[in-house]
Amino acid sequence: MTIAFFDTKEYDKTSFEACGGTRGLTFKFFETKLNEDTAALAHGCDAVCVFVNDTVNAAVIDRLYESGVKLIALRSAGYNNVDVQHAFGKIHVVHVPAYSPYAVAEHAMALLLTSVRRIHKAYNRTKEFNFSLSGLTGFDLHEKTVGVIGAGKIGRIFTDICKGFGMRVLVYDRMPRDDGLTYVSLDMLFSQSDVISLHCPLTEETRHMINADAIDRMKKGVVLLNTSRGALIDAEALLDGIKARKIGAACLDVYEEEADVFFEDRSGHIMDDDLLARLISMPNVIVTSHQAFLTAEALHNIAETTVNNIVTFFQDGVCENELCYRCGHIEHCKKERRERCF
């Protein structure tokens, strides 16, 4: 089987060639992202393998379908960049529901610690032999309140990490569980949290859930963490909140308009995105370029699961990680039947 692999990075080649070569897969690696202009590169391939910034809208799906592609294999958990509804009846879609929730949760805590203890500023100073402590005063996490939005695997691991620091943990999830966590309303979470961390998927319901109104309801000096999807936060409202001194700090591993910026070396270019440039220029903002997933363990798990998804689909006709629109439960319909969606 031949797989067209889009938005390729060197670390992708290493992990996927190691897993795919032993399973009879041939990868055609393309550095370009998948979109309407590049979909023709997949002509004659059995499947495409895509990442979070590839565009898999209705037009792209139609072109892939016309080219004979039978499967879209996401090498990510999120699928907001795929028109799953339009794919139904044409091309099957699979994803990687979990690869290393520890990687993302640990990165969120790394960002938080870096921010509140001014590690990034101290690092830059001491590289120039400036050992002054002026302006580096942070605050204890112990006994602070952290609000975690989203109680999936990553969110629950992040709550465990926070509890290890002696923090009080509040959780919001649209489907609360009887799992020992303290579930509260969004209003209560906003008003009581010293730190707020986002660990939920991007849907129409959650898009811009952190907006001007939400920020108004937060405590002055709140620290915002986002390692999920950029569009969960209205970046304009975030910048306004920072300038108004309402937001004490923001730690972002994702950004709403990251597709043409993140994962690339832009150091020799003028930044066209004024909003991102202004955010990065703020002394209380830390931005990493969607690297929370980037651990050796996670890369291996992503490759292994993606390859297994592809092989299982073509050999057995059924893949437990298929995303389907038929029954309305895109991720969980696999629990209701054991055959292909169409």
Identity of the amino acid at 307: V
Does 63 participate in catalysis according to the annotation? no
Active-site annotation holder among 63, 86, 118, 290: 290
CATH class of 101-287: alpha beta
CA torsion angle 309 314 317 323 (round to 10)? 40
Instruction: For CA atoms 294, 295, 300, 304, give the dihedral sign.
Output: negative
**Segments of the chain assigned to CATH 3.40.50.720:** 2-99+296-335, 101-287
* Rounded Cα–Cα distance for residues 78 and 289 (Å): 16
From 256, 258, 304, 322, active-site residue: 258
CB proximity list for 307: less than 8 A, separation 6 or greater: 16, 19, 20, 23, 25
Q: Torsion angle, CA of 147/150/152/157, rounded to 10 degrees? A: -20
Per residue of the chain (342 residues), give pLDDT as tens: 999 999 999 999 999 998 877 788 999 999 999 999 999 999 999 999 999 999 999 999 999 999 999 999 999 988 999 999 999 999 999 999 888 999 999 999 999 999 999 999 999 999 999 999 999 999 999 999 999 999 999 999 999 999 999 999 999 999 999 999 999 999 999 999 999 999 999 999 999 999 999 999 999 999 999 999 999 999 999 999 999 999 999 999 999 999 889 988 999 889 999 999 999 999 999 999 999 999 999 999 999 999 999 999 999 888 889 987 766 667 666 455 466 777
Q: What is the pTM (predicted TM-score) of this model?
A: 0.89
Is residue 337 part of the annotated active site? The answer reads no
User: Which residue out of 75, 229, 256, 304 is catalytically annotated?
Assistant: 229
Which CATH code for domain 2-99+296-335? 3.40.50.720
Identify whether 331 is a catalytic site residue.
Answer: no
Distant-in-sequence, close-in-space partners of 54: CB < 8 Å, separation ≥ 6: 6, 7, 33, 34, 35, 81
